[in-house]
Structure 1
Amino acid sequence: MTAPTAVERVAAVADTMQVTVRDRAAEAPWGSGLTTPITRKITISALCPVCGGRRGEPFGINSCDDGAYYWVQGWNNPCGHRDMYVAVLAEARELERRTGGAA
């Protein structure tokens, strides 16, 4: 497999969006102490991975978990398909791998 060309990298990031999500997999396991939420700003496709329609506009969400406050974003896809943070984190990793970090 060859590395993507500059044109392929630009095409891959042309229709993307940046969102901030919670990365629970990067946090200490439940029951091992206080919760310290870890958030990440990631780049994902602006298109729904199920049907290809546009994803909704991101909006901010203030949250609290065990007294730790954090801010993330959510969005409502007009098509009705729901995005889960674990899935969009995997999507962001794959996009970064495919584009060589250009996203």
Structure 2
Amino acid sequence: MPPSTRRTFLGLAGVAPLVAFGFATAARAADAVCFNPDTLPASQKSMRKALGFVPVSTDPAKACGQCAFFTATAAGCGKCQLLTGGPVGATGVCRSWAKKG
């Protein structure tokens, strides 16, 4: 591997954890507007994991706020039928997302 490629790789490898931490912090901030993720019951945490729920969708057209299972409760916040009425932010998404009709 040429030195410049190795140097680029090492530089990117050093920055990757910071980017991941930044994304995780942004995701927690999005949820914290509606609820405290740390206080969710184990059943909610387990269900979110099983559904592949993420607090911030990478596709703005596919987010909880546009999902058939979402019911708004306040600005940017709501409840999800799939999560047995559990709280979610409108920016989240899971694998069971379905477009509102």
- Structure 2 length normalisation: TM-score? 0.29
Q: Larger relative contact order (C-alpha < 8 A, sep ≥ 6)?
A: 1
Q: Which has the higher helix share?
A: 2
Q: By percentage of residues, which structure has more strand?
A: 1
Q: TM-score, normalised by structure 1?
A: 0.29
Pair member with larger Rg: 2
